[in-house]
């Protein structure tokens, strides 16, 4: 059992990253929407990397928690009509904020999602590759890691529901064969 958990650890780490973007409740009904491609351009200049802890459209500010543990700080950054990627400033999501000082204030130039890096031995599957896998006879397990109600409104063919927040309790749903391919998906960029 411990060996299986050790082999599953990379997937559990990935799933933990999904919490910020995939496990959040939304008042919207899920529909068959093609996800937008998210590209990461190299950010130059000073940046804050962290998690959005607050956003005020009225004050036009974003609060970002940077650092870890006792060294964590909350940084306040202003945004304006020139800020690129403001849609990525969502509470609880990881971001990379390129900024510049204007007088005493710090203004966000661009906001990009901070995507999870895959652990060693874990690879990504493109939408086209997954389509071939689903349509073909490849032996794999497809896991929908979104909240159960989102799975209930629609999911990929053959997917089983193992929401991130219930993953520890539902590990028994995964195959016992440690060499069997597992594909996880959620509702956001990874």
- pLDDT at position 42: 55
Radius of gyration of the chain, Cα coordinates, nearest whole angstrom: 19
- pLDDT at position 189: 55
Strand boundaries in the chain, DSSP class E: 47-56, 61-66, 73-78, 94-102, 105-113, 140-144, 160-161, 181-185
* Residues facing 181 on adjacent strands: 140
pLDDT surpasses 50 at 5: no
- pLDDT at position 172: 80
Domain positions in the chain: 2-24+117-185, 47-113
In tens, the pLDDT along 58-68 reads 999 999 999 88
Most confidently modeled range among 36-50, 69-83, 120-134, 172-186:
69-83
Q: Helix (H, G, I), strand (E, B), or coil: what is residue 157?
A: coil
Most confidently modeled range among 1-5, 74-78, 111-115:
74-78
Asked if the domains 2-24+117-185 and 47-113 are classified in one and the same CATH topology, the answer is no
- pLDDT at position 79: 95
Q: Which CATH superfamily is domain 47-113 in?
A: Copper binding periplasmic protein CusF (2.40.50.320)
Q: Which residue shows structure tokens 């086209």?
A: 128
CB-CB contact of 85 with 114 (8 Å): no
In tens, the pLDDT along 83-106 reads 999 998 988 888 999 999 999 999
- pLDDT at position 151: 92
- pLDDT at position 58: 95
Stretch 150-164: mean pLDDT, rounded?
A: 90
Q: What are the respective helix, strand and coil percentages of the chain, to the nearest 5?
A: 25, 30, 45
In tens, the pLDDT along 119-147 reads 787 888 888 999 899 888 788 999 998 88
Q: Which CATH superfamily is domain 2-24+117-185 in?
A: Rhodanese-like domain (3.40.250.10)
- pLDDT at position 179: 85
Q: Helix (H, G, I), strand (E, B), or coil: what is residue 99?
A: strand
pLDDT surpasses 50 at 24: no
pLDDT bracket for residue 113 (50, 70, 90): confident
- pLDDT at position 44: 61
- pLDDT at position 188: 65
């Amino acid at each position: 059992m411990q060996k299986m958990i050790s082999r599953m650890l990379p997937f559990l780490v990935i799933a933990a990253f999904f919490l910020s973007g995939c496990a959040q409740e939304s008042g919207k009904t899920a529909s068959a929407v093609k996800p937008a491609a998210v590209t990461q351009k190299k950010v130059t200049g000073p940046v804050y990397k962290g998690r959005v802890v607050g956003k005020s459209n009225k004050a036009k500010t974003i609060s970002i928690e940077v650092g870890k543990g006792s060294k964590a700080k909350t940084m306040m950054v202003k945004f304006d009509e020139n800020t690129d990627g403001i849609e990525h400033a969502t509470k609880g999501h990881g971001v990379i904020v390129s900024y510049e000082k204007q007088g005493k204030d710090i203004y966000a130039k661009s906001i990009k999602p901070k995507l999870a890096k895959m652990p060693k031995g874990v690879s990504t599957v493109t939408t086209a590759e997954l389509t071939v896998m689903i349509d073909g006879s490849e032996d794999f397990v497809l896991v929908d890691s979104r909240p159960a109600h989102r799975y209930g409104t629609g999911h990929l063919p053959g997917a089983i529901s193992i929401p991130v927040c219930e993953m520890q309790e539902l590990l028994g749903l995964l195959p016992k064969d440690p060499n069997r391919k597992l594909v996880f998906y959620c509702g956001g960029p990874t």
